[in-house]
Structures are given as structure tokens and as C-alpha cells.
Structure 1
Amino acid sequence: MEKTPGLSTDVTSPLAAIVLAGGASRRMGRDKATLPYAGLDGEITMVEHIVATLKTRCSPVFVIAAPGQALPQLDAEILRDEVRGVGPLLATARGLHAAAAAGLDLAFVCAVDMPYLSVELIDDLVGPALRLHAEVVLPWDGRDHYLAGVYRTSLAARADELVAAGERSMRALIGTTDTQRVVMPEQRSLTNVNTPADLF
């Protein structure tokens, strides 16, 4: 798997978004999706903020939630896992199926706890996906960011097979794909919020 510098692309390239919002959030001690976030127009929830950011670049946006998880009204399609605590791979597969059914070849997959996510970061990843026909493009800043990457929606069936075999982690899927890494410096856009203090 080659580390590849970022490549520009046409910002109008069709792209779905999949937000994984149903995690247990043990380190935070509460649901991250409904964590209060100080937006430009007042306090909103983290999931509302993430969806609003993604809507400026991606369509459609799918939010994968846990069974019974309370969410605010969102400008996105909410899909629910059938059971809790089964890891991100199953949720990603569900989102990839939905994005493929909507006619999209590519989807940006991210966690709900990325309040500083930028459209520029997303487009830095779409370029290699289009130019190199990679199945997955991940940011790499000394580690892989599995939940901040561009994925081919055709990977949905492969993810299903891995889940059926007992796999739960994104690493299992990445190990079966043509994955390109875009080398980036450590940056705020890739920050995952694990405590309320991380928001300041």
C-alpha cells in the first residue's frame, strides 16, 4: 500500500457521506452525537454540526445510529443498526449499501466526533480515489484514519462477508483492499473528540 500525496479534483465529483453516530462513547461517558456544540447560529448537537458540514460537499448524507438512539431532526437519512455494540464495520457496510443504492460510487465515511472536519480535507482524498481508482483513500499522519476516508461503495458486499466471518474492525476491510494513503501533517480536521475539553 503506497503513501500518496494529495491530488486535486473537481469539487463537483459526486460523493455520498456516511456518518457513524451509534458508538458507545465510553471515554466521553455520554452519547457523542448529541454532545452540545457551539455553532455560528447558537448551540447545536455534534451530529447536526457534522451533517451541516458534510451537506456542503456530499449528497446524500446517511447517519448510522444505534437502535433507539435519540437524535435531533437532521437534514440526512437516518439508518439504524439492528443491535448495539457490534463495531464500525457493520455500520459502514450499511452505509455503503445505501450510498450504492442511491447511485453513488464513492462515499466519505467519518465518525460523528470530528467537529473540525473540513471540506478541503475531503477533496484532498477524493482526488486520488478518482485518479488512481483506489478502493479506499485514507489520510495518514503517522497513523491511518479509517473513519475519515473515501470508500468505494462496491466494498459493501466485501464488508458484509467480513462481518459474517466475525470481523468488527475497519482494519479488517482495509486489509483486503487497494488502499492509498494521503500523507498529511497532524491537523485539527482529523481530531476526534473524546472528552468535553477536546472541544476547546
Structure 2
Amino acid sequence: MTSPLPLAAVILAGGASRRMGRDKAAVPIDGPDGPTTLLQRMVAIVSPRCAPVFVIAAPGQALPDVPDVNARVLRDEVRGVGPLLATGRGLRAAAEAGLEHAFVCAVDMPKLTIDIIDTLAGPARRLGVDVVLPWDGRDHYLAGIYRTGLHGTVDDLIAAGARSMRALVDAVDTQRIVMTEQAALTNVNTEADLTALIPPKFSQQSH
């Protein structure tokens, strides 16, 4: 059996969260081990498989404590320019840490599993492509494995005015892995999304 592909993790936590109405990273949820936040939950999910973990936050953004010793918080230089710049920052940090691949994800995927990461890691190792994404009828740009050396490509795209993850994926060698729609790939964009995915343990006290 081949050894698993070494991976860093890049968690993008600096989005404006307009539909949620508040900073997603600090949104409280019920975790398997008790109350937590979306950011803490995402670090707990990826850290058993990926190290180091880089949390990319906006300038001045307040974050909940991240106790994992392998997690580092990095700040975007500019607020509100989209996920491409933040991804490049994380990939550069992962490359400097000596990793050739990183799992890049959003902070709002509390049902993500290591199985999803490993399903993508196999093709990333075998095929030698730049990006491996899950596809369930749409691309999940922020749940994929990226070569860390792509940070240079990101810099070039940003300099040319690009801001979207699609611009990066379209510019490099990308492999899509067909998957079924599932909770592990679901983003929580509103309070209703969160409640549907993780129902509160105590919806109402009995009278």
C-alpha cells in the first residue's frame, strides 16, 4: 500500500458572509464534542489528515481561538478581493513549509470528512495534475487539492485582474472527480442552511 499523499490544509476564513449576516468563522455550532465554532470545527476536521493547517483571515478580523498547535493564522493584505488572493497566500505558505500539495477549503463546511480529502488525494498522487476537484453537478473550488507551486500562477492571475477561483482552475491542469451530492460538500451560507445541516440539539424546552 502506498503511503498517503502529504497535505497541508488552507482554510479560507475571511469572507464577508453577507448572507449569513455575521462572520462565519465565529458562528457557534454543536460539534461532536460539544459547542464549538465553524472555524474550530473545520480545523478539527482537517488537522488529523493535514499538517500544517493555514487559516487565511481578513485584515483585522477577530477569530475564535484555534488551539491546534499545527494551525497558523495568516492575514490577507487586502480585504474583500475574493478567495483567489487568499488561496495564493495559503499555497505560498504551504510551499514554504515544504509541502507540494494542499487541501484548500472554505470555513463553512462543517460536515466535511477525511474520506473526501483522501478520495481526492489518490488522483492527485497518481495523475500528477495541478488541481483535483470534487464535481457533483458543479465544481467545488473550495474543497479541492492544489499544487502549492500554483501560488506563482495565482500572482500572475491577480496581476492580470482575475479574482475568481475559476480563473485559476481554467488556467491549469485540473481533474474533476464525480461524486454524489452530499452533506460533506455542503456550504452553509445562511442560518437556515446551518440549521438544516446541523439541527440544534435542543430546539425547545418542554413546558
- Give the TM-score range, shorter chain: over 0.9
More relative contact order in 1 or in 2 (CA 8 Å, sep 6+)? 1
Moved more, 97-106 or 73-82: 73-82
Post-superposition offset of 1:10? 4.8
Aligned residue number for residue 158 of structure 2 = 163
What is the aligned counterpart of 1:154 among 149, 154, 164? 149
In structure 2, C-alpha distance between the alignment counterparts of 1:63 and 1:148, rounded to whole Å: 14
Q: Contact 1:11–1:123 (CA<8 Å) still a contact in 2? A: no
Aligned residue number for residue 82 of structure 1 = 77
1:101 aligns with 2:89: no
Aligned residue number for residue 14 of structure 1 = 6
- Please state whether the residue corresponding to 1:175 is helix, strand or coil: helix
In structure 2, C-alpha distance between the alignment counterparts of 1:13 and 1:161, rounded to whole Å: 27
What percentage of aligned pairs have identical amino acids? 67
Q: Contact 2:10–2:103 (CA<8 Å) still a contact in 1? A: yes
Q: Contact 1:50–1:112 (CA<8 Å) still a contact in 2? A: yes
Which digits, 9 at most, give the CA deviation of each residue in 1:4-29, with x for residues without a partner? xxxxx856321000000000011111
- Please state whether the residue corresponding to 2:171 is helix, strand or coil: coil
Aligned residue number for residue 188 of structure 1 = 183
- Show structure 2 runs of 5+ residues with no match: 200-207
Which digits, 9 at most, give the CA deviation of each residue in 1:27-73, with x for residues without a partner? 11110000001112221110000001111110000000001111122
What is the aligned counterpart of 1:48 among 21, 36, 40? 40
Aligned residue number for residue 204 of structure 2 = none
Rg comparison, structure with higher value: 2
Aligned residue number for residue 205 of structure 2 = none
In structure 2, C-alpha distance between the alignment counterparts of 1:34 and 1:170, rounded to whole Å: 24
1:114 aligns with 2:106: no
Which digits, 9 at most, give the CA deviation of each residue in 1:67-86, with x for residues without a partner? 11111221210000111100
- Runs (4+) off by over 4 Å: none
Q: Contact 2:25–2:64 (CA<8 Å) still a contact in 1? A: no
Pairing 1:50-65 to 2, within 5 Å after superposition = 50-65=42-57
1:172 aligns with 2:167: yes
Aligned residues: 192
Q: Contact 1:162–1:172 (CA<8 Å) still a contact in 2? A: yes
1:73 aligns with 2:65: yes
- Please state whether the residue corresponding to 2:45 is helix, strand or coil: helix
Q: Contact 1:107–1:153 (CA<8 Å) still a contact in 2? A: yes
